[in-house]
Structure 1
Amino acid sequence: MIPVPINDDRQFNNADGFAMVFDPAWQRCLKAGELDDQSLEQRIEIVLTHLSDHPFVQSEPTQARQVARFRVRLLDLNS
């Protein structure tokens, strides 16, 4: 198996690259209390604000939101 660099700071303009940064960004926002008492859509928007410099968010904002919703459902992040 080819090892994946853990601290790789490259950003890729695709859904997979976005998903790789979305999950930790969600967790950071959650720990900081930024997502408390917010609806799911508000939570997603807060996280996307933190990721606004990501190339996928900039070039495909609608798809980035769709990926974010999918990640939240897939990983049960909204519970």
Structure 2
Amino acid sequence: MPFTETELRFDLMCRRDADGHWHGTIAVNVDAAALRRLGLHPGQPASVVTGVSPPAWWHAAGERYAARRESVRRHGK
């Protein structure tokens, strides 16, 4: 993975809706220095990666993981 564990932060925000059902949102935060290492920074005119791409096995593992996951819709939304 192109990021170390200390460069990422995951926040889970949960609340109970008016109908009593729980709803959750996940926020993913990446350290700015890690994004700069990949060539992404605020002064950049376009999001073109200038750093080293992750190895092929990393992409393949992500595709396998995505293929295993089912899209589940809850509460008819």
TM over 0.5: no
Q: Higher helix fraction: Structure 1 or Structure 2?
A: 1
Q: Higher strand fraction: Structure 1 or Structure 2?
A: 2
Larger Rg: 2
TM tier, shorter chain?
under 0.3
